[in-house]
């Protein structure tokens, strides 16, 4: 049964829910397809940034089958672990396996991991790579951890203050969370906030509790997702 939008969320939030992750993924894939198609009609091309993890796999599989002129879509990542693409934890590998298939095999993919030894050393080259992507992004699909992090904007990272600065001029930033494995490359808050459409895709009652806590605490330095909950966005959730 579909749920009503939690009372803690403001009128700036569009809320969508489904009973099962599969149904939610299909619904979200259809919406992302519509948004990308509209962007192509308006400006001849479209840009999409997606998140890694286990939650978006069903979304990627459904989205890969959406009928769209994918040759006019540039896909990149919201964040990436600083690991080789052959690594089991590579978001690039996840996207290649599940999204850049079927109809979406025609999309252009821009990686945000390069050959630099560290994420910090690789940031300039990553910034250059992302300059090839239409910005602001037409669609950004975020995930969220139970600690309230999104992208690789972790509350434990030394780089968080800079990463969350709304006036930060760069598209990406290297982060080194102490509560998670690997150095990371992440889109900055400013790059995400400028997106034409921001979507949060989450599943599970624990994530709903995290949202409520973030809205109650109102502190993006402790729960970075809060920064995006104060601006227009869509949330897709299922139990």
The fold of the 13-238 domain, in CATH, is Rossmann fold (3.40.50)
Helices (H), the chain: 21-43, 57-63, 91-98, 119-130, 160-163, 189-193, 205-217, 226-229
User: What pLDDT does residue 2 have?
Assistant: 66
Q: Check: pTM over 0.95? Answer yes or no.
A: yes
* d(C-alpha 60, C-alpha 7), whole Å: 30
User: What pLDDT does residue 4 have?
Assistant: 85
Helices (H), 64-114: 91-98
User: What pLDDT does residue 88 have?
Assistant: 97
* d(C-alpha 223, C-alpha 228), whole Å: 10
Nearest 5°: the CA angle 16, 65, 56 is 50
> What is the average pLDDT value for the chain, to the nearest integer?
97
User: What pLDDT does residue 186 have?
Assistant: 98
User: What pLDDT does residue 128 have?
Assistant: 98
Ranges of the chain with pLDDT below 50:
none
Evaluate whether 78 touches 151 at the Cβ level (below 8 Å): yes
Q: Where are the domains of the chain?
A: 13-238
Evaluate whether 173 touches 188 at the Cβ level (below 8 Å): yes
Handedness of CA 51, 52, 56, 62 (dihedral sign): positive
User: What pLDDT does residue 1 have?
Assistant: 52
Residue the block writes with tokens 């690997």: 182
User: What pLDDT does residue 54 have?
Assistant: 92
């Amino acid at each position: 049964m579909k749920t009503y939008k939690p009372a803690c969320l403001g009128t700036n939030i569009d809320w969508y829910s489904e009973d099962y992750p599969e149904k939610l993924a299909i619904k979200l894939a259809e919406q992302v397809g519509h948004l990308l198609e509209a962007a192509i009609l308006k400006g001849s091309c479209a840009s999409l940034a997606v998140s890694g993890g286990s939650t978006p796999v069903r979304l990627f599989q459904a989205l890969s089958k959406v009928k769209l002129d994918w040759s006019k879509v540039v896909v990149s990542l919201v964040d990436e672990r600083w690991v080789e693409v052959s690594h089991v934890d590579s978001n690039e590998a996840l996207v290649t396996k599940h999204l850049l298939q079927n109809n979406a095999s025609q999309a252009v993919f821009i990686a945000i991991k390069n050959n630099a030894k560290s994420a910090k050393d690789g940031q300039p080259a990553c910034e250059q790579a992302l300059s090839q992507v239409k910005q602001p992004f037409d669609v950004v699909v975020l995930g969220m951890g139970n600690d309230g992090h999104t992208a690789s904007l972790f509350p434990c990272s030394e780089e968080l203050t800079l990463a969350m600065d709304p006036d930060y001029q760069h598209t990406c930033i290297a982060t080194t969370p102490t509560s998670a494995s690997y150095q990371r490359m992440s889109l900055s808050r400013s790059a995400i906030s400028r997106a034409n459409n921001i979507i949060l895709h989450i599943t599970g009652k624990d994530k709903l509790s995290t949202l409520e806590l973030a809205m109650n605490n109102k502190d993006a330095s402790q729960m970075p997702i809060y920064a995006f909950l104060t601006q227009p966005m869509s949330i897709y959730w299922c139990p």
